[in-house]
A and B are shown apart, each in its own frame.
Chain A
Amino acid sequence: MVVSTEPADTRKKPLQVIEREEITVRFAGDSGDGMQLVGMQMTNTSAMFGNDVSTFPDYPAEIRAPAGTLAGVSGYQLNFGAHKLRTAGDRVNALIAMNPAALKANIADLEPGGILVVNDDAFNKNNLAKAGYTENPLDDRSLTRYQLFRIPIDKLNGEACAEAGLAGRAAGRCKNFYALGLAYWLFGRSMEATERWIKDKFGGKPAVADANLRALHAGYYFGETAEMFPARYVVGPAKIAPGRYRKVTGNEAVALGLVTAAQLAKKPLFYGSYPITPASEILHELAKYKNFDVRTFQAEDEIAAMTSVVGAAFAGAFAVTGTSGPGLALKQEGIGLAVMAELPMVIVDVQRGGPSTGLPTKTEQADLHQAVWGRNGEAPLCVLAAATPGDCFAIVLEAFRIATEFMTPVIVLSDGYLANGAEPWMLPDPAKLPKFVIKHPTAESGNGHGFWPYKRNERLVREWALPGTVGLEHRIGGLEKRDVTGEVCYDPKNHHHMICTRRKKIDNIAETIPPLEVLGEPSGDLLVLGWGSTYGPITTAVEHCRAKGMSVSSAHLRYLDPMPKNTGDVLGRFRSVLIPEMNLGQLLAHIRAAYLIDAIGLNKVQGKPFMIQEIEDKIEELLNHHNGRKS
């Protein structure tokens, strides 16, 4: 990276082209500035070019906080690389800040020497005051650590839009495309896909389409002609498995997985949900797929969403709800009913910062205890967690398999990072997806006196008899029932037996799941164990440390209850186990309790994912400590 200590626009140097393995760009502006939109455009363009990409939007809970304030800053971070990427990037290499507030909120993440493009026009007295600056940071030499490029984006964009007959606020709305054009030039990207998108999107409003195209082009050609930038940066294509790809966020992947599971099982998909950040997109996505016999129900509250799902499962649908932490808390009594009734369903919890309302738009992993132990009584169920945005698709299929094979509710944990983060996703071949064959007892196959709801197979799983089947009329509910026959039963020994049976049934799921895999040596000084969205930074950090010759391996738990049968064996083969989590040590407690292992936590609860570097530092610290003890 070329480092400048002087404002770059004072120099004229021949244009360099610098090749990089990966680059992280962040667009930041007001929440109404369209930063998410242009971030996604650049993501698509980079993916189509052949880079691996990983993105993470960072937006405020307020829809349109007062313009120019810190509360209203919205950002979109894109990491594109010539190799496999698992995170949206630790440090920002290039920041595009549309106003002082965006600069202030994001500058700490820009690497020293990084590219800083600012909309110079927005740094007026009013905006500076709103962002809490007493001096203009562009003038006071506080930014000398960065390559600062002051560009009058408002003015230049306005001139470009004027040619399309757009002025004032309407023109102002195009400035995100001006910034995008500039970024395209800076990183050697083609404008073609975005041009297509603009024409498609604003087809009905030719003047708007024209203005946006002009803004895009003006930004691009400004980069080319202004001779302001000493270098352009290029990132070559990554080695990616051949196939047809699209970009997918975690929430989109959940929706695609749910529809797929229902289709494969030839069942209607019932999705009962109450809007909640950051899970609402699942409902929005599914509402588009009604031609797949998707029946969405926006319930009056989280509780009704949950109980409607219990009813739908009883009636034979593939029944699903989605929510976030506060909603999961409200659903717990209904989930307990589902545990008692032993009905198959999936509960997707897109975790966010808590407790209470917490940080609605930020990520966290603090619902693990709530998922595993959050209900009254002994109420075991299966808990899974997705590792990446794309994995949300696979995990939902697996959740459906387990739910129906074991007649149990399954909680799938995602989080704000996975939900809104995006990565390339290879379109699956429907013919190669698992087959789900769901069997319901018929009048002829009645299993007892009519139908005994708690008659179980060798795995302790009961049958799923559907209303409408002659002769299998039966009653279930939240009161304890006698095993096998299912009548209300207060017998002490039966209760103990049923409590143990429900637990054993969940434990039996472990017979059907893959063993815990270790990346790296199967034994050694240190194992870094992760779950959920920490997969990306953990795996990358461990790869980096291994490349430096350290004795460290990693393992990732997608199954949290039950855990893979070999988990204890795997953990026992390492001198130390490190568990990085975006909570205060929830998996840590689980692991310590289950395996009596003195695992070590690395905990970060800032509403932000781990940086790779943070995990690397901890690994080094632990290994140095070991080595110190050895010597």
Chain B
Amino acid sequence: MSTASATVQLTAKDYASDQDIRWCPGCGDYSILAQVKKVLAALGVKRENTVFVSGIGCSSRFPYYMNTYGFHSIHGRAPGVATGIKITRPELDVWVATGDGDGLSIGGNHLLHTIRRNVSIKILLFNNRIYGLTKGQYSPTSPFGKKTKSTPMGSVDYPLHPLSVAIGAEATFVARAIDVNTKHLEYVLERAAKHKGTSFVEIYQNCTIFNDMAFEYATGKETKDDTTVYLEHGKPLIFGKDRNKGIRLHGMDPEIVTLGGDIKEDDLLFHDERQAEPSLAYLLSRMHYPDFPEPMGVFRCVERPTYEDLVMGQVHEAVKAKGPGRLEDLYDDGETWVVN
């Protein structure tokens, strides 16, 4: 990560471009934009060394609103553009803003392979479980039976779960946050920014126009404490308004238990974001409302050599072994002949 010299301390405002923001009033994207700017300022990130890349969709307007380098590419393809940037200039901080349609439908393949390679790109997947920019069709994360313009009788597609996909693709950093829980979102973004390798963050983001209240269960004052559980490394999974409920493992399955009596904190599932095997992270990614509280925070954060380091490592190794390339040597394939 590139950080600014101590002399110029930028504030969140310094990361804003001069463009008018054109998201709908009340859109969850505003919060994400605000927290990203805060995090960059807090980390002292250099604007000139930062590139935001996006695809197509509401979320993908993101780069226009940042006073950094930016590339608003085509539908689903931001990871490809970002990978090209990162391999060319490993020193740049590269972020991808994408959505559930952009990232998981048309761009699913690229997401999968970028994560697998562990290219140091921070992928923010704005999940509103709907197609917003095309005016309200179901997305790959819309629940089964969802009635939309393209599914008036209800969707017959089973949804997929972004974090399960990312973990299945061998992600080294996987996290989830909610647009309205700004403090926690800020924390998760900061963790993502600091990770070396692909950071994958799913952000529950409310679309006020086409899918309003989709995350009400997880954000409503009355319900949120019982429908979400905040992960902390090394700590047991405890939740509930009275913090008296926990998650315990029953064989290979999680179960909700009430603390007290025979059940103590030590009996609960303890979070370990650094487990080499992603089984625990995957198990957490399968906990869904209404059967379980949905985990928030960092599911997984492990170290693995990054793609750009490995690519450049081979370049350096080749230079070391053969010396810097000379054109004369390039042309001579060892089977030349001379015509006089």
Chain A positions near chain B (C-beta within 8 angstroms)? 44, 47-48, 50, 240-247, 256, 259-260, 263, 268, 270, 272, 289-295, 297, 299-301, 303-317, 319, 333-334, 336-337, 341, 427-428, 430, 433, 467-479, 487-488
Q: Does B160 contact A (CB under 8 A)?
A: no
Residues of A within 8 A of B73 (CB): 307, 310, 337, 477-478
Residues of B within 8 A of A300 (CB): 109-110, 112-113
Residues of A within 8 A of B339 (CB): 50, 240-245
Residues of B within 8 A of A314 (CB): 51, 71, 81, 84-85
Instruction: Sort A-B residue pairs by CB-CB distance and give the 3 closest, nearest first.
Output: A311-B84, A477-B72, A307-B80
B48, A315: Cβ atoms closer than 8 Å: no
Residues of A within 8 A of B47 (CB): 473
Q: Which of B63, B77, B92, B318 has the most CB of A within 10 A?
A: B77
Q: List 15 A-B contacts (CB under 8 A).
A: A50-B339, A244-B336, A244-B337, A245-B336, A299-B113, A304-B109, A307-B77, A307-B80, A311-B81, A311-B88, A319-B84, A433-B327, A473-B48, A476-B72, A488-B19
Residues of A within 8 A of B82 (CB): 311
Q: Would A291 and B322 be within 8 Å (CB), given that A245-B339, A297-B84, A478-B72 are in contact?
A: yes
A315, B89: Cβ atoms closer than 8 Å: yes
Q: A475 contacts which of B56, B69, B83, B333 (Cβ < 8 Å)?
A: B69
Residues of B318-335 at the interface with A, using a CB-CB cut-off of 8 Å, are: 318-319, 321-328, 330-333, 335
Residues of B9-55 at the interface with A, using a CB-CB cut-off of 8 Å, are: 17, 19, 47-49, 51, 53-54
Q: A297 contacts which of B67, B87, B338 (Cβ < 8 Å)?
A: B87
Q: Which single residue of chain B is at the shortest CB-CB distance from A470?
A: B48
Q: A47 contacts which of B77, B79, B88, B337 (Cβ < 8 Å)?
A: B337
- Bound complex: CA A606 to CA B176 (Å): 56
B84, A270: Cβ atoms closer than 8 Å: yes
What distance in Å separates the Cβ of B135 from its nearest Cβ neighbour in chain A? 17
Size category of the binding interface on chain B: 35 or more
- Bound complex: CA A272 to CA B89 (Å): 15
Residues of B within 8 A of A469 (CB): 48
Residues of B within 8 A of A48 (CB): 337
- Bound complex: CA A467 to CA B63 (Å): 14
Chain B positions near chain A (C-beta within 8 angstroms)? 17, 19, 47-49, 51, 53-54, 56, 63-64, 66-74, 77, 79-89, 91-92, 109-110, 112-113, 311-312, 314-315, 317-319, 321-328, 330-333, 335-340
- Bound complex: CA A335 to CA B24 (Å): 31
What distance in Å separates the Cβ of A177 from its nearest Cβ neighbour in chain B? 18
Residues of B within 8 A of A268 (CB): 88
Q: A289 contacts which of B64, B113, B321, B330 (Cβ < 8 Å)?
A: B330
B340, A316: Cβ atoms closer than 8 Å: no
A473, B69: Cβ atoms closer than 8 Å: yes
Residues of B within 8 A of A47 (CB): 337
Q: Would A310 and B81 be within 8 Å (CB), given that A337-B73, A475-B72 are in contact?
A: yes
- Bound complex: CA A294 to CA B339 (Å): 32
B89, A316: Cβ atoms closer than 8 Å: yes
B72, A479: Cβ atoms closer than 8 Å: yes
B63, A304: Cβ atoms closer than 8 Å: no
What distance in Å separates the Cβ of B82 from its nearest Cβ neighbour in chain A? 6
A478, B318: Cβ atoms closer than 8 Å: no
Residues of A within 8 A of B330 (CB): 256, 259-260, 289, 292
Q: Which single residue of chain B is at the shortest CB-CB distance from A465?
A: B69
Q: A304 contacts which of B79, B312, B315, B325 (Cβ < 8 Å)?
A: B79
Given contacts A291-B318, A299-B113, A315-B92, 7 further A-B contacts (CB under 8 A): A292-B330, A293-B319, A299-B83, A312-B87, A319-B88, A475-B71, A478-B72
Residues of B within 8 A of A334 (CB): 74, 77, 80
Q: Which single residue of chain B is at the shortest CB-CB distance from A475?
A: B70
Residues of B within 8 A of A309 (CB): 84
Residues of A within 8 A of B64 (CB): 475, 477, 488
A270, B87: Cβ atoms closer than 8 Å: yes
Q: Which single residue of chain B is at the shortest CB-CB distance from A425?
A: B331
- Bound complex: CA A313 to CA B54 (Å): 16
What distance in Å separates the Cβ of A449 from its nearest Cβ neighbour in chain B? 8
- Bound complex: CA A263 to CA B335 (Å): 23
B80, A308: Cβ atoms closer than 8 Å: yes
Q: A317 contacts which of B88, B326, B337 (Cβ < 8 Å)?
A: B88
What distance in Å separates the Cβ of A629 from its nearest Cβ neighbour in chain B? 47
Q: Which single residue of chain A is at the shortest CB-CB distance from B83?
A: A308
Residues of A within 8 A of B314 (CB): 290
Residues of B within 8 A of A245 (CB): 336-339
Residues of B within 8 A of A246 (CB): 331-333, 335-337
Residues of B within 8 A of A260 (CB): 327, 330
B328, A430: Cβ atoms closer than 8 Å: yes
- Bound complex: CA A308 to CA B314 (Å): 19
Q: Would A263 and B325 be within 8 Å (CB), given that A256-B331, A311-B81 are in contact?
A: yes
Q: Which single residue of chain A is at the shortest CB-CB distance from B48?
A: A470
Residues of A within 8 A of B84 (CB): 270, 272, 297, 307-315, 317, 319
Residues of A within 8 A of B51 (CB): 314-315, 467
- Bound complex: CA A241 to CA B340 (Å): 8
Q: Which single residue of chain A is at the shortest CB-CB distance from B66?
A: A475
Residues of A within 8 A of B317 (CB): 290
B327, A263: Cβ atoms closer than 8 Å: yes
- Bound complex: CA A314 to CA B318 (Å): 26
What distance in Å separates the Cβ of B334 from its nearest Cβ neighbour in chain A? 9
Residues of B within 8 A of A306 (CB): 80
